Amino acid sequence: MAKKTLTTILDDAVMTDAGLTLNGVVLQQIIDKCEGCERVVNHETGSNYCTSYSQPASKWIQGVCNFATHIRAEKDAGGKIKINPLKASKRAARGR
């Protein structure tokens, strides 16, 4: 049986002097808070990039990234934001 090869949007990215570039946009590497997210892809250069955002750090400036698959932000009864890291494990338990 042939091994299935995953393709991502990063397959079309090219390395330039400015960095990994996709359609003219320079991609920034992920930050520590992205670790564990399913949207992280390891590029052949050995660095990790997000398949959804070119600048992952900017998605965390005002709280939790809204596309993160490993953490979810929720508001409690008092209106404070709580971070729920269990979203990924719940998905795994449901088989998705």
Of the candidates 53, 32, 38, which has an alpha carbon nearest to the alpha carbon of residue 91? 38
Q: Does 65 bind ligand SF4 (CB under 6 A)?
A: yes
- Phi and psi at 10, nearest 5°, equal -70, -15
Q: Which region among 13-21, 47-55, 72-80, 83-91 touches ligand SF4 (by CB under 6 A)?
A: 47-55
Q: Does 73 bind ligand SF4 (CB under 6 A)?
A: no
* Smallest distance from ligand SF4 to CB 41, Å: 9
Q: Which region among 3-11, 21-29, 62-70, 82-90 touches ligand SF4 (by CB under 6 A)?
A: 62-70
Farthest CA pair distance, the chain: 55
Query: Which of 13, 20, 27, 39 is the binder for ligand SF4 (CB under 6 A)?
Result: 39
Q: Does 13 bind ligand SF4 (CB under 6 A)?
A: no
First-to-last C-alpha distance (Å) of the chain: 24
> Which helix (H) or strand (E) is 88 found in, with range?
helix 87-94
